[in-house]
Amino acid sequence: MVAATINYLSPDSRINRFFWAPEGRLSTSISVPHRVEIGDARQAERPFTLDEHGFTLVTQPTAVASLDDRAALDSIYAREVEQIAMGLTGADLVVAMGYELRSSVAGDRPMLPPAARAHIDYDTRTAHQIAQRRYRKAQPDGPDYKRFILFSLWRCFSAPPQDWPLALCDFESSRDTAEVRSVKIDVPRLPEGGALHAPIAGEDEMGASALFAFDADHRWWWYPAMSRDEAIFIKFHDSDHGRAWRTPHCAFHDETTAGTMPRQSIEFRGCAYFSKK
């Protein structure tokens, strides 16, 4: 176990928006820090699985040498993600959806900082909208699907141990925690003052991520010192709710491990489909 801070959604946060502009991103959500214990997933009694816990560790080297090689990420790495997802889930079709790069140290490269609050990238409504839209684009004449898994494959490209690793919340401990929509709003420039909370036409129909309030029953886990040959497969949403169907997650600052290195990582999103027969 390590003690660390997880930022949760404050009960006082009423209007939750995430503005995206060419100049950057801005959230109106109010977060509150909570000190929690995060368990070493490598030392757990048994491995974590997708159907029971909502996430799992994959050992699969990548042929991509650097996050600077965007062409390789768009082609080679996208195919690797699809193959890993097919192998893990048994899906009939996997559609790669693109990626985000993150770094704990600001630099010249356009990377986002670690996402340091308990969240899932898409809330339930948005997950279903994205799954339908992506499927129709990839398979306009397809037989439709009976189930989908919206997911992320998370991998560190920096040397271990990382200063801002990823914590994952066991589904069994978070299944009853309500999700709160944080609406993604694209704007030409970031708003200020009263414009942050002013009414926006059509907001209820916009896509959103899911944020979570603190729950003392949450059980958090992490994989220390991840190598570039390892990746974490994370369920954002599994339409089959008879098994683990989502995984709240959050970056945290490791204050206990000596000699940590700045984290550089890629999270590649995709959707796995199980076709109707």
Q: Where are the domains of the chain?
A: 2-190+205-275
**Structure letter (DSSP) for residue 178:** P
The residues with which 220 forms a beta bridge, in sequence order, are 38, 169
Q: Give the pLDDT band (50/70/90) at residue 106.
A: confident
The band of 108, judged by pLDDT with boundaries at 50, 70 and 90, is low
- SS3 per residue for 11-42: CCCCCCEEEEECCEEEECCCEEEEEEEEEEHH
Report residue 152 as tokens: 């992320």
Pairing of strands 17-21, 24-27: antiparallel
Strand order from edge to edge, sheet including 24-27: 2-9, 31-40, 220-222, 166-169, 249-251, 119-120, 208-211, 180-186, 17-21, 24-27
The β-bridge partners of 237 are 150
Name residues whose C-beta falls within 8 Å of residue 68's C-beta, 6 or more positions apart in sequence.
109
Q: What is the rounded average pLDDT for all residues in the chain?
A: 96
**Residue 68 in contact with residue 77, Cβ under 8 Å?**
no
For residue range 159-199, what is the model confidence (pLDDT) as tens digits?
A: 999 999 999 999 999 999 999 999 999 999 999 999 999 99
Rounded CA separation 240/275 (Å) = 13
Q: Is the dihedral of CA 49, 51, 54, 58 positive or negative?
A: positive
Per the listing, tokens 């909502």 go with 54
Using the structure block, give the residue that is written with the tokens 């890993």.
84
Write down the CATH number for the domain with range 2-190+205-275: 2.60.120
CA 91 centroid distance within chain: 20
- Kindly report, residue by residue over 199-249, the tens digit of the pLDDT: 999 999 999 999 999 999 999 999 999 999 999 999 999 999 999 999 999
